[in-house]
Amino acid sequence: MSSASNFPDWHGTTILAVRRNGKTVIAGDGQVSMGPTVVKGHARKVRTLAGGRVIAGFAGATADAFTLLERLETKLEQYPDQLARACVDLAKDWRTDRYLRRLEAMLIVADSTSIFTVTGVGDVLEPEEGVAAIGSGGSYALAAARALVAETDLDTEAVARRAMAIAASICVYTNDNLTVEVLGGG
């Protein structure tokens, strides 16, 4: 991997996935920062893939993330309705391909039954609690979402929105301009 000194001091992104009661939600904030400066407040870091059957959110370098999303889309075409297999295949390529190995990004990918965090070191992690988060405010959103899932009867989307608001109130690299994508009912 490249050293961090080769890249500008980019911060900002909180991506949160919540799956509960037959509904899957991925929410992402809109802030992109370079050092202490907010350079964009309405970035769209959450996308639908596979004809709307899969949602993906990214943290890291945008061009790198788009490259990974394109590769994931190809894997989803190759393995329709097999999200785990597509993610594992992407992670394998990401880890072994000389070009992909240099990409600086992380993904959260979900369908109506599963959530996966996919990284460039070969990780494909499925959360036990149905909640996953990445990015600079990810730990704040994750903690808030886990508490809200355990302690409230809020709808899945409401959990994601509330957890993201909590993260935005704590992390200076996270804002409240959200992109929210939803799969399923309930």
Residue 33 has pLDDT above 90, yes or no: no
Residue 4 has pLDDT above 70, yes or no: no
With b for 16 or more beta-carbon neighbours within 10 A and e for fewer, the 30-56 pattern comes to bbbbeeeeeeeeebebbbebbeeebbb
What pLDDT shows up at residue 11? 55
The domain defined by 7-175 folds into Glutamine Phosphoribosylpyrophosphate, subunit 1, domain 1 (3.60.20)
How far, in Å, CA of 150 to CA of 41, rounded? 31
What pLDDT shows up at residue 6? 44
Active site residue 13: yes
Long-range contacts (CB closer than 8 Å, 24 or more residues apart) made by 48-51 = 48/181, 49/73, 49/76, 50/76, 50/77, 50/80, 50/111
Q: In what order do the strands lie in the sheet with 131-135?
A: 131-135, 14-20, 23-28, 179-184
Any idea which residue has 């309705």 for tokens? 81
Each domain of the chain, given as residue ranges in start order, spans: 7-175
At 51 the three-state DSSP class reads helix
Kindly give the residue spans of alpha helices, DSSP state H, lying in the chain. 62-78, 83-96, 138-151, 156-170
**Which of these ranges, 10-24, 48-62, 72-86, has the smallest mean pLDDT?**
10-24
Residue 118: both structure tokens together: 């996919």
pLDDT in tens, 101-150: 788 889 999 999 999 999 888 899 999 899 999 999 999 999 999 999 99
Q: What is the mean pLDDT of residues 155-179?
A: 96
Q: Residue 140: which residues within 8 A CB-CB, separation 6 or more?
A: 14, 166, 167, 170, 171, 174
Residue 185 has pLDDT above 80, yes or no: no
pTM recorded for the entire structure: 0.91
User: Considering 13, 24, 117, 174, which one is annotated as catalytic?
Assistant: 13
Residue 157: both structure tokens together: 């989307």
